Structure 1
Amino acid sequence: MVIRMNFMELKEATNNFCTDNAIGLGKIGVMYKAMLPNGSPLAVKRLHGCQSFDKQFICELLVLGKLRHNNIVPLLGFCYERKEKLLVYQYISNGNLYDWLYAREGNNRNLEWSLRIQIAIGVARGLAWLHHKWDFRVVHLNLSSNSILLDNNFVPKISNFGGAKISSSEGMMFIDSNDTHSSNSSFVDGGVWDLGFVKKDVYDFGILLLELIIGKEHIQINNYTNSSNGSLVDWITHLFTTSSDLYNVIDKSLIGRGFDGEIFQFLRIAYTCLNPFPGKRPTMIELYNTISTLGKRYSITDDSQIMRQSEITIASTSNEIV
């Protein structure tokens, strides 16, 4: 579903990869806004000229070149010429979630609670589809607020699949980090796939929920737990028993606006995701089913792409996790 694109055309569309067109800087490359001659915007990721990034390049192609979902960023094309490796995506106008949660002072960006619920539901829906699609399952393994893009309607799009692992209908595989050929795959035990990979995504989703509630970065959330000499689960347990501390950590823009009950529900959901025993964490389908009940109050639940059982493997008979 992706096309091979010409390097010179992409170079021209980004104005020779002008720094003024740079819209993101990541570990493996720089993202540029590009404009086609017909006026259509694109996002072009130019990978740094290092051979070690071939794995990430191939992973993005394997995952995003095969899958289409409303909560996954669309990959439109790629370019591999000489030492140049570029990936071309649909341009997502509202940038990433990180920049909205942690806007600089003086910036009017602010996420209303209903939008935070919409984002959580969309990310859960996308991950559930990736984890439980019967013929081509994917674990992201690098989920964060930086990897969640927001379109003009604040529909979340999961991006940054360079570190993903894939399980096809023929078995579980991932690209060997020392080999750049996608045909050379390694197979892993099912328990490793479920507990080591799938439940890692669930844990990261729990961190994302905390960020939506607290409005603090992952490193700052960890600082809270370090100061209390406990785990994240211990810290959240403490918050449930000490209301003054709970209100001190919730994003100030959310307090006193009638959302307290829903915020506490989200916190309890995050608590289940962060269980130190991976096997006791819920599946993403269970999480989606639980969170989407909150979305019904805001008319933002959409089951059209996740609950078609002909495509989704049954993860659990339970719809509740709290």
Structure 2
Amino acid sequence: MYLNVTAIIQRLSKPIPFFGIKLWIAILTCIVLFVLICITTLCIIITRPRRHCKARKSLKPMGMRSIPEKQVIFSTSRTTKPSYQFRLIEIQAVTNDFADENVVACGDYAIVYHAIMFGNTRVAIKRLLSCRTKAKEFTGEVEVLLGLRHKNLVKLLGYCFEGNYRIIVEEYVNNGNLGQWLHDCISEVSPLTWSIRMNIVLGIAKGLAYLHEDTEPAAIIHQHLKPSSILLDKQWTPKISDFGIANFLDSDERSNHPITPPPGMSGYLAPEYLSTGILDEKSDVYNFGILIMEIVSGKPSIEYTSTENEEYLIDWMKSMVASQQYDQIVDPKLPERPSMKELKIFLLIALRCVDPDVNNRPKMGEVIHMLQPRDLLLSDVNVIPLFHHNFKSINKNECA
């Protein structure tokens, strides 16, 4: 018993082997390394998505608005700029739910609102009236119009269709329309000088020629060309609006009344429309001829006399030309008088455009050449005999 206790005491009194300390150090080192690895891995996992998001954000163009869920981007051969389909809630937000204080114009086919979109860009929002065009037809027509780009056309920026709403978003042209400057200007002297009026006529001709001759797959007929559809910017550059809008009108109304004059077009309709009910390039040319007469004279297409009789501008103009009363033709508000040659050029073009025989009316591309000062068709030798031609007057009772 004594020996056994002594042996045990001796064993317990022996020092602990050195390898035990090494083991604990190794274990602690492994634990520390494991913790460091876990922390490093966690940091990598957390920071990697952030770098990815930053990379994605850096690809977003500066100033471009966030794209709504229902937005569709169209691309055509005519432009590389994106166009948008907007949700109704977006349109309601920027117009304050179509508030009256945002209305800038009311027409026969639409109500136009002013709004701010695309960050800080002024736009015109055109809410179409009496439009029951199906969504597929509407988007198909608008997609064609979205691809049109010309200096003398109002640029379309997008559209919206939801329920019975048919809305077009356009660039905002900030100087009113031609009708306002011709007929509603209270000043004794018009700011529309003869030079400005010549440039307006040429610009309208170029825009209309583009619609007729440079669009695919087919020509675009305006059908409602008149002064109120010609917008002007601060430099008096004309921009044709409402082109193609006739395609959005109620098809039932058009089919039930094929020869009813479109609203607001009295005094502009070509005579053949009353018998055929067809509006084509030649009827647009006729409208353009009436426009020239208004720009030169300052008179509206129909004027009501003191006895409330209707006097059509085309009949008045023909009688003035036939009697060579050129001084009576020019707008009295013009700050300067045009040269006789320039006046005759414009009158010749106008009378050719309103020729009762559609085959004698020029194409808009030809009109542009006629407006060039060196065009041989416009020498005084050719102009004067044409002024004495006995143009057939349109029966006013037919247009009533």
TM-score range, shorter chain: 0.7 to 0.9
Relative to 1, partners in 2 of residues 1:23 and 1:60: Cα closer, same or farther, differing over 3 Å?
A: farther
Q: Does residue 64 of the first structure (1) align with residue 138 of the second (2)?
A: no
Relative to 1, partners in 2 of residues 1:102 and 1:197: Cα closer, same or farther, differing over 3 Å?
A: same
1:4-33 superposed Cα distances (whole Å, 9 cap, x missing partner): 012222222223322122111112221011
In structure 2, give the amino acid aligned to 1:152: K
Aligned to 1:131: 212
- Residue from 217, 235, 243 that aligns with 1:161: 243
- Residue from 252, 258, 273 that aligns with 2:332: 252
State the distance in 1 between where 2:118 and 2:210 align.
35
Q: Does residue 20 of the first structure (1) align with residue 94 of the second (2)?
A: no
Structure 2: tracts of 5 or more residues without a match: 1-73, 75-82, 255-272, 384-400
Matched residues, number? 274
CA contact (8 A) 2:98 2:113 kept: yes
Aligned to 2:321: 240
Aligned to 2:288: 205
> What is the DSSP-based 3-state SS (H/G/I as helix, E as strand, rest coil) of the residue aligned with 1:248?
helix
Q: 1 or 2, which has the higher helix percentage? A: 2
Q: CA RMSD in A?
A: 3.7
State the distance in 2 between where 1:5 and 1:72 align.
22
TM value normalised by structure 2: 0.59
Please list, as runs of the form range in 1=range in 2, the aligned pairs for 1:176-195 lying within 5 A after superposition: 177-178=251-252
Q: CA deviation at 1:270?
A: 0.3
State the distance in 1 between where 2:233 and 2:110 align.
22
In structure 1, give the amino acid aligned to 2:347: L
In structure 2, give the amino acid aligned to 1:204: N
- Residue from 239, 263, 275 that aligns with 2:343: 263
1:209-251 superposed Cα distances (whole Å, 9 cap, x missing partner): 001001111112999xx889x993x6544323434x4322320
Please list, as runs of the form range in 1=range in 2, the aligned pairs for 1:1-322 lying within 5 A after superposition: 1=74, 2-36=83-117, 38-48=119-129, 50-51=131-132, 61-105=142-186, 110-133=191-214, 135-136=216-217, 137-164=219-246, 177-178=251-252, 197-220=280-303, 232=314, 235-243=316-324, 245-254=325-334, 257-293=337-373, 320=377
Q: CA deviation at 1:52?
A: 6.5
Relative contact order (C-alpha < 8 Å, sep 6+): which is higher? 1
In structure 2, give the amino acid aligned to 1:91: Y
Relative to 1, partners in 2 of residues 1:201 and 1:216: Cα closer, same or farther, differing over 3 Å?
A: same
Percent identity, aligned pairs only?
35
State the distance in 2 between where 1:102 and 1:19 align.
25
CA contact (8 A) 1:30 1:46 kept: yes
State the distance in 1 between where 2:149 and 2:204 align.
14
